[in-house]
Chains A and B, each alone.
Chain A
Amino acid sequence: MAQEKWYQRSGAEGDVVISTRIRLARDLAHLPFPAWMTAEQREDVITQVFGAFPNDQPCAFERRRMSDVPARELLAMVERHLISREFARDPSGEALLITADEGVSIMVGEEDHLRIQVLRSGFDLDSAWQEATCWDDYLDTRLHFAFDERLGYLTQCPTNLGTGMRASVMLHLPALQEKGIIQQLSVTVSKLGLTIRGLYGEGSKPEGALYQISNQVTLGITEQEAIDNLRSIVNQIIREERSCREQLKDSPAFEDRVFRSLGILQNARLLTGNEFMTLISPVRMGVALGMIDHTDLNALNSLLIDAGAGALMEAAGEELDAAQRDVRRAALVRERLR
């Protein structure tokens, strides 16, 4: 049986927090940044990184060349947050190292030579950071990372200089969204060196009331300070979201929306990705509030991933057009929410 993946379970503060991610940007010294690399130099970086994990020793990572990965699987990997959309767009000269539970992935040849990424379900910044820094230390002794004592880790984009660390927490904020205070929240956190974005990061729209909050500043702040700062703000957002949910809970209009959404999901024969995200959000909130008891947050977290266009095509083992995906998505959701 395949190992359980990080997204198949719900974690700490799971009613509001979907997942936690730590990402470290690292580049190799004396090589051009990826945007300027030749095909040979890209190959050289992949060889160096693969070489850091000797063939004759058991390795925690599966090593994959992205040019060998079918397009539908690339899309599924984006949906599982293993790789970025930019990374999936042009897979030549790129590689990925990935653990069996998909909790640790290392992108080679993205915006920086290496992007070390750790994903955890629920609100779990400390253990995600411990794991990330551990793999960073391992690679640091085997590769020559570009580093300067004044500017820290030298990254292609100056917005990552310093720690090169982006810590982010994915939140389900349907009640705050309903109250229309996300915009205000976004302005407030930006003054604290944080940023709130949609589900797939930069420039993406908030689907299903899912938001990512992450640190923006990376220079002149330690990793621990950035993490503590993020943690305290997220704790406050969790409290606000819960209190707004309690206010909504007793309204007949809200209860109607939760069960009407569930009804559609349980019976629809065609579901677009957008409609699914719109309907699953009130259902998830209903489950978190104990209004619905025949499914749980673990199942819903899995479903959020499995109902993606790439995941559906990967499960089917073939390319599907939008209409075919809508049929399969509806069937999957009916089965899971029965």
Chain B
Amino acid sequence: MLCDHCGKYAATTHVKKTVNGKTTELHLCAHCAAQQGIGTNFGFDLGDFWGSLFAEPAKRTQEDTVRCPDCGRSFREIADQGRPGCSTCYLTFYDRLLPSIQRIHGKTQHTGKVAAQADGTVKKERELQALRDKLNACIAEQDYETCAQLRDQIRALEQEGEA
């Protein structure tokens, strides 16, 4: 179903109004819903409150010149709509989004699975850390044969990037 207002994007906000016994239905895309002030102020999904989590009143008066290179949104638009337009928005406005992300999760550094597309530094760092942990355990157990093997593996992995 397309948006009743712009007819361009999929309708994701559905509003039913009953006035004097007459019911009308309105189907809007997220953009048009936000423009009309619908969507971010009802429903209790944590994400719906996101827009109101932005806490930089002083900076909001700044000129909003930076735009997301992929979807063209400004930080102000993301805050008003309560949601980013695309994944690149997170990278473009990383510093300004971070406080609200921290408020949601309590943390700001991903520690889980790493996608194949990542440049590999995090993946490598984690592999190295795992090997170093193993090495320490072997030293404690005085298993010097395994220690030597682990040391070689660590050295090889460290040199991989430098070559």
Chain A residues engaging chain B, CB cutoff 8 angstroms: 27, 29-39, 42, 89-90, 92-93, 133, 136-137, 140-141, 144-154, 156-159, 161-163, 165, 202-203, 217-223
Secondary structure type dominating chain B contacts: loop
Q: How far is the CA of A218 from the CA of B111 in the complex (A)?
A: 10
Q: Which residues of chain B are within 8 angstroms of A32 by Cβ–Cβ distance?
A: 70-71, 85-86
Q: How far is the CA of A136 from the CA of B118 in the complex (A)?
A: 15
Q: Does B129 contact A (CB under 8 A)?
A: no
Q: Mark B80-105, 1 if CB is under 8 A from A, else 0.
A: 00011111101100100100110011
Is the CB–CB distance between A29 and B100 below 8 Å? no
Q: How far is the CA of A217 from the CA of B114 in the complex (A)?
A: 17
CB distance from B5 to the nearest CB of A (A): 14
Q: How far is the CA of A277 from the CA of B56 in the complex (A)?
A: 48
Q: Which residues of chain B are within 8 angstroms of A149 by Cβ–Cβ distance?
A: 110, 114, 118-119, 121-122
Chain B residues engaging chain A, CB cutoff 8 angstroms: 1-2, 8-12, 14, 29-31, 44-47, 50, 70-71, 83-88, 90-91, 94, 97, 100-101, 104-119, 121-122
Is the CB–CB distance between B104 and A30 below 8 Å? no
Query: Which of A146, A157, A159, A162 sits near B110, CB closer than 8 Å?
Result: A162
B2, closest chain A residue (CB): A39
Q: How far is the CA of A99 from the CA of B90 in the complex (A)?
A: 33
Which of A35, A146, A159, A217 is most buried by chain B, counting CB atoms within 10 A of its CB? A35
Q: Which residues of chain B are within 8 angstroms of A27 by Cβ–Cβ distance?
A: 87
Q: How far is the CA of A217 from the CA of B111 in the complex (A)?
A: 12
Which of B11, B31, B90, B122 is most buried by chain A, counting CB atoms within 10 A of its CB? B90
Is the CB–CB distance between A35 and B29 below 8 Å? yes
Q: How far is the CA of A223 from the CA of B1 in the complex (A)?
A: 36
A202, closest chain B residue (CB): B45
Q: Which residues of chain A are within 8 angstroms of B109 by Cβ–Cβ distance?
A: 150, 219-220
Is the CB–CB distance between A220 and B87 below 8 Å? no
Is the CB–CB distance between B10 and A90 below 8 Å? yes
Contacts A35-B30, A147-B118, A222-B112 given; indicate if A203 touches B44 (C-beta within 8 A).
yes
